[in-house]
Amino acid sequence: MNAGIQNLVISLGAMQVARKIPFDDPDVLNYARIGYVATQFIILGIYYYVSMTIKRKNDQTVLKYVEPSTPMSGEEGKLVTTTVRDYDLVETSKLLRSVYMGIAMMGFLHGYMKFTQPLFIQSLMGLKNLYDAKLVAIHLFGKPAEGDLKRPFKSPPGLFGGATGPQTDNAAITEAEKRVGSKKEE
């Protein structure tokens, strides 16, 4: 099943369950808060462990790809040359940034707006996103980096579109190297 549709189904199911939870009871509300905070600490701890594993492995394999440009810009994609270690650390920082943004949004929704249902829903979605993270699959679960886990990662498809991502074929890389070389000569 498509990840976007899967997230939607889980969110809608969690909303229906959350409607049945008596958040008016202070004990239940405190348990929901404790559950949310514990989930976020688990997620942050696992991402920290993954980043430490990446640094410990120190995989210096060169990774070349053409990063796609934004669809409406009309520009060509740019060539990126990095190592597997650096690529994985950048991807881990993106995952951490998304967790911090979720915590900030929850702070606003629950702390300021007094919404309680998102505590339960985001606890479940945080664990699902952790399980779906490609770096967690590679570095924590020990899956080989092939197929969907092959670097550079393709962005997950939206609800209606296919997966987009960096081009790794030799023709695209050679073309991007030629563009970079011709720009340097000018």
CA distance 148 to 146: 6
Give residue 122's pLDDT. Answer: 95
Give residue 91's pLDDT. Answer: 96
Compute the Cα dihedral for 149, 90, 92, 138 and give only its sign.
positive
Give, for all 186 residues of the chain, the pLDDT tens digit: 788 889 899 999 999 999 999 999 999 999 999 999 999 999 999 999 999 999 999 999 999 988 887 777 777 778 889 999 999 999 999 999 999 999 999 999 999 999 999 999 999 999 999 999 999 999 999 999 999 899 999 876 655 555 567 767 777 777 767 776 766 665
Give residue 57's pLDDT. Answer: 96
Could you tell me the CA-to-CA distances from 54 to 48, 81, 88, 95, 130 in Å, in that order? Answer: 10, 18, 7, 14, 17
Let me know: does 64 contact 80? Beta carbons within 8 Å. yes
Q: What is the identity of the amino acid at 32?
A: A
Q: pLDDT tens, 101-153?
A: 999 999 999 999 999 999 999 999 999 999 999 999 999 999 999 998 999 99
Give residue 119's pLDDT. Answer: 93
Whether a cis peptide bond, with omega within 30° of 0, leads into 68 is no
CA distance 13 to 128: 13
CA distance 95 to 65: 21
Let me know: does 155 contact 165? Beta carbons within 8 Å. yes
Give residue 2's pLDDT. Answer: 81
Task: List the one residue out of 130, 118, 119 whose CA is nearest residue 48.
Answer: 130
